[in-house]
């Protein structure tokens, strides 16, 4: 069994990034299990580093128990969302207890436009590398939700193979411990 901690950077009920994550989960090999992180966390406050909120402790435990991490990010003003940054900042602290250290990881994202999260993913890559994650370089997945999802949030048939190829490559990346 390969366990993936999944960070979806949107709290929106109808989030296209949640839909993208669910589709990648559905198209992943059978032995891959997605564990969705509850992103509705308090705002990061360094005063609490010595006494973390229970929701944060739970989130860090999930990341540490996972074999890999998948970030599914919206693009907000040419970067990734504050919701995503907040969760990452918590998981990286307190100093010396970075839950992401050495974890195999990948970044994907969905937006409503043709440029589909290119800049958000690039900005997030910078943070993930700093936090010592083993990022998968290829294949990349920039998802246009307008043309790629049907009215039920299911990926359209023409895009399924592409998502399946990504999911299989990511499962291998995690199984190989990001080597
Ligand atoms: C956006 N959106 C957006 N899209 C994009 O391609 N590039 C961008 O820079 C931005 N900037 C941006 C800022 C803010 C504050 C919002 C709320 C939205 C549009 C965004 O891609 C769209 O709302 C997606 O639907 C967000 O993803 P979820 O919430 O559906 O997962």
ipTM of the complex: 0.98
Q: d(Cα 93, Cα 85) in Å, to the nearest integer?
A: 13
Calculate how far, in angstroms, residue 135's C-alpha sits from the geometric centre of ligand 1.
24
Indicate which atom in ligand 1 lies nearest the CA of residue 20. Answer: 31
CA torsion 102→103→106→110, rounded to 10°?
Answer: -120
pLDDT score of 114 more than 80: no
The token pair at 166 is: 């990504």
Q: d(Cα 145, Cα 112) in Å, to the nearest integer?
A: 5
Domain region containing 139: 2-175
Q: Give the mean pLDDT of 113-117.
A: 82
pLDDT score of 113 more than 90: no
Indicate which atom in ligand 1 lies nearest the CA of residue 12. Answer: 29
Indicate whether residue 73 lines ligand 1 (CB < 6 A): no
Per-residue pLDDT at 86: 98
The total domain count for the chain is 1
Q: Give the mean pLDDT of 130-134.
A: 98
CATH number at residue 132: 3.40.50.360
Please tell me the residue having the least CA distance from ligand 1 atom 7. Answer: 75
| This prediction's pTM | 0.98
pLDDT score of 78 more than 80: yes
Per-residue pLDDT at 116: 81
Look-up of token digits 């970044």: 107
Concatenating the DSSP letter of every residue in 132-158 gives: T-EE--SS--EEEHHHHB-TTSPBPHH
pLDDT score of 149 more than 90: yes
């Amino acid at each position: 069994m390969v366990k993936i901690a999944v960070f979806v950077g949107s709290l929106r009920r109808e989030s296209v990034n949640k839909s993208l994550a669910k589709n990648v989960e559905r198209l992943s090999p059978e032995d891959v299990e997605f564990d969705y992180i509850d992103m509705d966390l308090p705002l990061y406050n360094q005063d609490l580093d010595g006494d973390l909120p229970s929701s944060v402790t739970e989130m860090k435990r999930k990341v540490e128990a996972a074999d890999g991490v998948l970030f599914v990010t919206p693009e907000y003003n040419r970067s990734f969302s504050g919701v995503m940054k907040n969760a990452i900042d918590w998981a990286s602290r307190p100093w010396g207890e970075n839950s992401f250290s050495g974890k195999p990881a990948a970044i994907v994202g969905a937006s409503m436009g043709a440029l589909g999260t290119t800049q958000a993913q690039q900005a997030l890559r910078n943070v993930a590398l700093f936090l010592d994650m083993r990022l998968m370089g290829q294949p990349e997945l920039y998802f246009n939700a307008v043309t790629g999802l049907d009215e039920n949030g299911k990926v359209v048939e023409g895009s399924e193979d592409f998502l399946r190829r990504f999911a299989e490559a990511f499962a291998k990346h995690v199984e190989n411990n990001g080597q």
